[in-house]
């Protein structure tokens, strides 16, 4: 009985002991605080343009290009796009772009505009490749640009950043249900760890309910990009936006269920970044309406 695996329940969330139970559940009874990232401020850029999508939800690529430029400048503090990219990647890096193709897929236009921008920064075309899928994709890359879309998920609560690399595990079904808390461990696989140079979330047309299939009643034109170098901080900001949108739809508190334990675990168990809003600095640019932050 002493060694019985602790069961994570609703009470852990109410008591705020999720981290303790998760740590015990995932790693045994060793509390992994020493592995957690040292507390510090993480910057997340939120760039929006009310004309990024038209009424038929077609993407205006010219506007998107400007939004990307602003995003890169905000995230890196550089004065132009080229310098911004070159603080994130090296000119000789093989760069893998990692969009999502399922349940509210990343817009093709987002991928295209990132590709163009990298090429304009001097990265040769043959060093930029699509890297979503099986583990051999990240193995061939020196740097990864994560390009998820903003969405809730019915098995993991949120299905945006942490879930993006699930195929890299080679065994995605192992991360469903209770084991979704372990999604962060994929980011620490030897062929993934430290390769993610930028997380750029396609937030043009997010999905705020869990699905499991997209329901258009829960999608809306946010017309944004959310980006940063701390994947957990970016996910935390995404979570805030989804939560606020859900509350606005119902006119009352409508928390994600099941709760997105992978986000707190990514912080407290896997040390991938911060999930604490007070440690996140949000830099907003552009359209203010219904920012939800």
Structure tokens at 165: 């690399």
Binding flag, residue 259, other proteins (CB under 8 A): yes
Binding flag, residue 251, other proteins (CB under 8 A): no
Binding flag, residue 219, other proteins (CB under 8 A): yes
Residue span binding other proteins (CB under 8 A) among the ranges 13-21, 46-54, 89-97, 265-273: 13-21
Residue of 283, 276, 207, 218 whose CA lies nearest to 250: 218
**Single residue of 74, 151, 153, 195 touching other proteins by CB under 8 A:** 153
Phi, psi at 234, each rounded to 5°: -65, -45
**Which x/- pattern, by CB under 8 A, does the window 166-185 give for other proteins?**
-------x--xxx-xx----
Binding flag, residue 257, other proteins (CB under 8 A): yes
Least gap, CB of 131 to other proteins (angstroms): 19
Binding flag, residue 11, other proteins (CB under 8 A): yes
Q: What is the distance between the alpha carbons of residues 50 and 289, in angstroms, rounded to a whole number? A: 9
Q: What is the distance between the alpha carbons of residues 31 and 89, in angstroms, rounded to a whole number? A: 34
Q: For other proteins, which is the closer residue by CB, 9 or 80?
A: 9
Residue of 100, 20, 128 whose CA lies nearest to 6: 20
Binding flag, residue 140, other proteins (CB under 8 A): no
3-state secondary structure of 141: coil
Binding flag, residue 71, other proteins (CB under 8 A): no
How far CA 48 is from CA of 39, 75, 183, 222, 284, in Å, comes to: 28, 14, 29, 8, 8
Least gap, CB of 18 to other proteins (angstroms): 11
Q: For other proteins, which is the closer residue by CB, 2 or 126?
A: 2
Binding flag, residue 58, other proteins (CB under 8 A): no
R_g of the chain computed on alpha carbons: 18
Binding flag, residue 103, other proteins (CB under 8 A): yes
Least gap, CB of 176 to other proteins (angstroms): 6
Binding flag, residue 135, other proteins (CB under 8 A): no
Least gap, CB of 212 to other proteins (angstroms): 3
**Single residue of 35, 66, 69, 154 touching other proteins by CB under 8 A:** 154
Within 189-218, the residues that bind other proteins by CB under 8 A are: 210-213, 215-217
238 exposed, middle or buried (CB, 10 Å; 0-12, 13-18, 19+)?
buried
Tell me, rounded to whole angstroms, the distance of Cα 202 from its chain centroid: 9
Q: What is the distance between the alpha carbons of residues 233 and 42, in angstroms, rounded to a whole number? A: 7
Q: For other proteins, which is the closer residue by CB, 262 or 292?
A: 262
Q: For other proteins, which is the closer residue by CB, 85 or 222?
A: 222
Q: How many CB atoms lie within 10 A of CB 288?
A: 9
| β-pairing verdict for 157-158 and 224-228 | unpaired
Binding flag, residue 80, other proteins (CB under 8 A): no
| Number of chain positions touching other proteins (CB under 8 A) | 33
How far CA 248 is from CA of 29, 205, 215, 262, in Å, comes to: 40, 16, 17, 24
Q: Give the footprint of other proteins on this chain (CB under 8 A).
A: 7-11, 13-15, 56-57, 102-103, 153-155, 173, 176-178, 180-181, 210-213, 215-217, 219, 257-259, 261
């Amino acid at each position: 009985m002493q060694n019985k695996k602790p069961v994570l329940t609703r009470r852990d969330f109410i008591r705020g002991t999720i981290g303790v139970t998760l740590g015990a559940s995932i790693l045994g009874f060793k509390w992994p605080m020493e592995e957690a990232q040292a507390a510090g401020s993480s910057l997340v850029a939120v760039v929006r343009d009310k004309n990024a999508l038209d009424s038929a939800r077609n993407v205006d690529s010219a506007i998107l290009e400007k939004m990307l430029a602003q995003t890169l400048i905000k995230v890196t503090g550089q004065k132009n796009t080229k310098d911004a990219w070159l603080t994130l990647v090296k000119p000789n890096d093989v760069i893998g772009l990692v969009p999502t193709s399922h349940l509210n897929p990343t817009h093709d236009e987002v991928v295209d505009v990132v590709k163009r921008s990298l090429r304009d920064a001097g990265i040769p075309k043959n060093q930029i490749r699509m890297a979503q899928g099986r583990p051999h994709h990240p193995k061939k890359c020196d740097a990864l640009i994560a390009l998820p879309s903003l969405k809730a998920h019915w098995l993991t609560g949120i299905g945006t950043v942490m879930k993006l690399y699930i195929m890299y595990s080679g065994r995605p079904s192992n991360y469903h249900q209770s084991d979704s808390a372990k999604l962060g461990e994929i980011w620490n696989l030897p062929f993934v760890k430290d390769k993610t140079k930028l997380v750029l979330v396609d937030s043009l047309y997010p999905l705020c309910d869990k699905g499991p299939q997209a329901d258009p009643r829960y999608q809306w034109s946010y017309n944004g990009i959310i980006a940063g170098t701390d994947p957990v901080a970016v996910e935390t900001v995404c979570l805030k936006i989804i939560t606020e949108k859900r509350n606005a739809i119902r006119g009352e508190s409508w928390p994600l269920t099941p709760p997105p334990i992978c986000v707190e675990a990514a912080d407290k168990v896997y040390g991938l970044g911060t999930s604490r809003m007070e440690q996140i600095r949000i830099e907003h640019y552009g359209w203010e309406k219904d920012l939800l932050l």
